Amino acid sequence: MAQINSFQDLLDLLDSKPEYLEELRTRLLTEELVALPAKFAELVAKFDEFVAATNRRFEALESDVAVLKEDVKVLKEDVKELKEDVKVLKDDVGALKGSDTERRVRDNILNIAKDELGLTRGRVLLRRSSDMDAQLRIAVDRAESQGVVSENDVDNLLVADIIIRARQSAIRQYVYAVIEISLTINNRDINRARDRARSVAAITGDEAMAVVIGGFIQPQQRQLAAESDVTVVIPAMFKAEISEEDND
């Protein structure tokens, strides 16, 4: 055996005899410290397994998120289609209500004129989609040929909802009433009634009332009607229905 005279001699011996170094390590270290590298390697292996499992979970989560995003996209499209269907349904219901309002007003126009406007002995001269009264038509053609009204005025007048001639009970004088009908009375209805009544007054030389009849009107439109000398009528039958809806 080599003689050891210094610490360097010991180190040289251990370098040349690895088995001595291992034996010395077991003598100097506790069992726990000796086993530490193996435990560390085991811990690293477990950590690597945990990382791999976590990555797999994230991959699965990303896949689920992708599926969820696709489902949400489909849901959004379905909701969009549903909104469009609801809009069409609302439009259809609105059109149906509007048509029903016009029909009921036309069917009861002389009673409405009597009860709401004080006009009696009324006669319908024009309903939309029907021929104009012959005498009024002659007056219209004559006024147009004389330049009293324009061709556009006449065309506009021919599509009025209703024109009647009746006697004002208060003064016993016959007047014309040009009537526009709408479930919800808007600015266009008011302006049409005003312009068409002016045309009738110019054509006949008699007084012509501008009237809008419907189920609803906002304060702003009511103010416009007052400023335009247009009479607003919400018939009693519609008022009763509105009251019932409020009670419900």
Residue 186, pLDDT score: 94
Mean pLDDT of 101-125: 90
Cα 241 to chain centroid distance, Å, stands at 25
pLDDT-derived band at 242, boundaries 50, 70, 90: very low
pLDDT-derived band at 95, boundaries 50, 70, 90: very low
Of the ranges 13-27, 54-68, 82-96, 181-195, which one carries the lowest mean pLDDT score?
82-96
Over the chain, what is the mean pLDDT?
83
pLDDT-derived band at 247, boundaries 50, 70, 90: very low
How far apart, in whole angstroms, are the C-alpha atoms of residue 154 and residue 193?
A: 14
Contacts with 208 (C-beta within 8 Å, 6 or more apart), sequence order: 175, 176, 177, 178, 197, 198, 200, 201
Residue 1, pLDDT score: 57
The token pair at 15 is 């370098």
Are the C-beta atoms of 177 and 119 separated by less than 8 Å?
yes
pLDDT-derived band at 104, boundaries 50, 70, 90: confident
Mean pLDDT of 147-153: 95
**pTM assigned to the model:** 0.60
pLDDT > 70 in the chain, percent = 84
How far apart, in whole angstroms, are the C-alpha atoms of residue 46 and residue 138?
A: 104
pLDDT-derived band at 239, boundaries 50, 70, 90: low
- Is the pLDDT at 94 greater than 60? The verdict is no
Mean pLDDT of 58-81: 80
Are the C-beta atoms of 117 and 170 separated by less than 8 Å?
no
Of these ranges, 20-29, 101-110, 149-158, the one predicted with the greatest mean pLDDT is 149-158
- Is the pLDDT at 92 greater than 60? The verdict is no
Classify the phi-psi angles of 7: left when phi > 0, otherwise alpha if psi is within -120 to 50, otherwise beta.
alpha
End-to-end C-alpha distance for the chain, whole angstroms: 113
Query: Which residue, 104, 160, 168, is CA-closest to 136?
Result: 160
C-alpha atoms less than 13 angstroms from C-alpha of 230 in its C-beta half-sphere: 30
Of these ranges, 55-59, 228-232, 234-238, the one predicted with the greatest mean pLDDT is 228-232
pLDDT-derived band at 90, boundaries 50, 70, 90: low
Strand (E) or helix (H) holding 160: none
